Amino acid sequence: MSLTIVAINHAKPKDKTYRLYDEKGLYLEVTKAGGKLWRLKYRIGGKEKRLAIGTYPEISLKDARAARDAARTQLAAGTDPSEYKKLMKATAFSDKANTFESIAREWHSGQSRVWSPIHTKNVSDRLSRNVFPYLGNKAITDITVPELLQVLRRIEARGAFETAHRVLGNVSEVFRFAIASGKADRNIAVDLKGALQPVKKKHLAAVTDPKRAGELLRMIDSYSGTLTVQCALKLAPLVFVRPGELRTAQWRDINLDLAEWRYTVTKTQTEHIVPLSTQALEILHIMHPLTGRWEYVFPSARSRHRPMSNNAILSAMRRMEIDKEEMSGHGFRAMARTILDEVLGYRPEIIEQQLAHQVRDPLGRAYNRTTHLEERRAMMQAWADYLDTLKN
C-alpha cells in the first residue's frame, strides 16, 4: 500500500527506529528522535544497498518518488545510484574549489607574503569590486574570452581605463597560477592583448628645474606642521627613495655610525643600500630621541606602532600650496635622476642603481647592492651639498 501525506504526518517516534514503506523500494525511516528520512532499497550486482534521498518535509513525498524513479532509471542503465551520488558530490566540491574566486584568493594569499600591505589591499579590492561579482562563482575553465572582455568593458565604461589594464594583468596572473596548479590548461587573458582602450601615459609630477627646486626646498624648510612630517619632508629629497619606503623606514635598518640605511625594496624584493649624507644624518639625529625606541622612524600621529600615513607628505605639500600638477611624493626621485645626470654629470648606471632600479652589467648580470657603493656614497654627499646651494 502506498504512503500518504496524512500517514507520514501522523507517524510518531517510538522506542526503536521503524519504517513506513511506499512502493518500488522507497520507504520512510522514522527515528527515535522523531526524524523522518527517505531511503531507497535496491539491488545491484547481487547485493542489496540503500540510497539516502533526504529528510521529510524538506523532501516531499512527490519529490522522494521522483528521486526513486531517477535512481531506478540509473539502475536499468547499469549505474549504481549511490556511487553516482558520491561522484556528483565530489564533482561539486571540485567545481567549488576550482572557481575563479577560490583560485584567485589562493594566488593572492601566496603573493601577499611579499607584497606591501597597500598593494595587497589594492589587488584584493580590485578583484572583489570588478571581477568576483561576475566571474567569481564560475569554474575557471568555463570562463570564456568574451565573458572576460565584458567584465573589462564595464570598467572602461566608467572611464577607468588604467584600472581595466590592471585588472587584466591580475586576471592573467591568476590564470598562470591556475595552470601551474593543474586547475587550468590555458590563459585566456592573453587573447585580449590589444583589445582594451590604451592608457595615456602620465608622468608623476616632479620639479626638475634647479631654480624651482631651490624654491621648493626653501618652502619645505619653512613648513610649520609636526616635526615628524617636517623631518620626513626634508629627508625625502636627500635619499629619493620611494614614498612608501620613506614613510615605513625602520630604525633597525638604519646604522647611524656607518651612515647607511639598508632595507628590502618593496617593488623588487632585493636588498638596497642608501648611503646617508651628513645632512640626512642630521635629520635622523633629530628624530632618534623622539622615535628611536619605537619601530618606525616616522610613526603615525595616531599610533606609534604604525607608520606615518601615505598621504602625510602629499597633504603637507598641498598645505604649502605646492600644486599636485607640479610635485608629487614620487617626484623627488625624478628630480634627483634628472639633475644628477644633466647638471652634476653622474653616470646613469650609478644613478639608476641608487634609485633601486634593476641595473645590469655588460654581460647582462644584475649588479648587487654593494656595486659602486663608494661612488654612490660620494654622489649622495655631493647631491646633499648641491641641494644646500640651491636653497641658499
What confidence tens digit (pLDDT) does each residue in 321-335 have? 776 655 776 788 888
Name the band, by pLDDT with cuts 50, 70 and 90, for residue 158. Answer: confident
Query: What secondary structure letter does DSSP report for 255?
Result: E
**pLDDT class for 312, splitting at 50, 70, 90?**
confident
Please compute the mean of the pLDDT values over residues 359-379 and round it to a whole number.
72
pLDDT classification of 75: cutoffs 50, 70, 90 = confident
Amino acid at 36: K
The amino acid at residue 160 is: A
Instruction: Domains for the chain: give ranges and CATH numbers.
Output: 5-92 (3.30.160.390), 100-192 (1.10.150.130), 210-391 (1.10.443.10)
Q: Is pLDDT larger for residue 285 or for residue 359? A: 285
57: cis peptide before it, omega within 30°?
A: yes
Say whether pLDDT at 249 is over 90: yes
pLDDT confidence of residue 29: 92
Chain centroid offset of residue 317 CA = 29
Average pLDDT over residues 234-256: 93
Residue 9: pLDDT above 50? yes
Give the residue-averaged pLDDT of 119-124.
86
Confidence of residue 204 (pLDDT cuts 50, 70, 90): very low
Mean residue pLDDT of the chain comes to: 86
pLDDT at 280 over 70: yes
* Positions marked catalytic: 242, 267, 330, 333, 357, 367
Contact status, residue 361 vs residue 322, Cβ threshold 8 Å: no
Supply the DSSP symbol for 320.
T
CA-wise closest residue to 65 among 29, 26, 101, 37: 26
Q: Which helix (H) or strand (E) holds 102?
A: helix 100-111
20, three cell numbers: 513506513
Of the listed ranges 122-126, 140-144, 327-331, 337-341, the one predicted with least confidence: 327-331
3-state secondary structure of 22: coil
Task: Give the pLDDT of residue 207.
Answer: 65
Q: How many CB atoms lie within 10 A of CB 123?
A: 21
Question: How would you list the strands of the sheet with 271-275, edge to edge?
Answer: 254-255, 260-264, 271-275
How do strand 36-44 and strand 47-55 relate by DSSP bridges? antiparallel
Grouping H, G, I as helix, E, B as strand and the rest as coil, residue 36 is strand
3-state secondary structure of 158: coil
Q: Are the beta carbons of 342 and 353 closer than 8 angstroms?
A: no
Residue-level pLDDT at 323: 66
Lowest mean pLDDT among 80-89, 143-152, 241-250: 80-89
Average pLDDT score over residue span 203-218:
73
Q: Does the pLDDT of residue 86 top 80, yes or no?
A: no
Residue type, 356: A
